[in-house]
Amino acid sequence: MPDLQTELATKVLPNLDNLKFDDPEQPEEPTMTTTAIPLTRQVFEYIKTNPKSRGKVVLDFFQAAGFKRPVVAATVTALIKSQRLVRQGGKLIVLQQNYDVERVAKVTDKKPKPAKITTPAYVDTAKMLEGLTIMQGRELYDRLKAIYGG
């Protein structure tokens, strides 16, 4: 069995001259750092450049580009809820000229609903007062006095 140096000298070293690590004929591939544009911005820009587009047209365009319809529909809805777009008569209209990432919290026009207060039709005060201790009675008295005065 030959030793390692003999193997290297006879088989490996003669083949090293044929190896080429750098091929000068092949141009180097340019390295591009591409950042993907978010779908939300793409939808916003599309509607901005195509004013008064119908929702179906927007969905069809982005579906042809490879996006799923429910994702695009959810994006349009999010833009409407964030008050960047508005839907008037089925057409989408841009409310602001620039897509700003740092959008302030959405303003709602909804007024808080008052709490429903239900009172029973008939309250038997005699039964209610029967089970009270003196301390509970005093506490009830103080609270009613604070509410109604006197």
**DSSP string for residues in 69-108:** HHHHHHHHHHHHHTTSEEEETTEEEESSSS--SSPPPPP-
Query: Is 117 among the domain residues?
Result: no
In the prediction, which pLDDT does 74 show?
92
In the prediction, which pLDDT does 97 show?
79
For residues 30 and 48, the model is more confident at 48
Domain containing residue 69: 37-98
Segment 46-59 mean pLDDT? 87
Contact assessment for residue 58 and residue 76, using Cβ atoms and an 8 Å cutoff: yes
Query: Is 52 among the domain residues?
Result: yes
Contact assessment for residue 101 and residue 38, using Cβ atoms and an 8 Å cutoff: no
In the prediction, which pLDDT does 33 show?
45
DSSP string, 22-38: --TTSPPPPP----PPP
Query: Is 7 among the domain residues?
Result: no
Q: Tell me: the pLDDT tens digits for 5-34? A: 777 777 777 776 666 666 556 555 544 444
Query: Is 81 among the domain residues?
Result: yes
For residues 119 and 143, the model is more confident at 143
Q: Tell me: the pLDDT tens digits for 63-117? A: 998 999 999 999 999 888 888 888 888 888 888 878 776 554 455 556 777 777 7
In the prediction, which pLDDT does 21 show?
60
Query: Is 61 among the domain residues?
Result: yes
Please count the structural domains in the chain: 1
In the prediction, which pLDDT does 30 show?
47
Q: Tell me: the pLDDT tens digits for 122-135? A: 777 788 788 888 89
Query: Is 30 among the domain residues?
Result: no
Q: The dihedral of CA 87, 88, 92, 96: what is its sign?
A: negative
For residue 63, the domain's CATH number is 1.10.10.10
Query: Is 43 among the domain residues?
Result: yes
In the prediction, which pLDDT does 70 show?
92
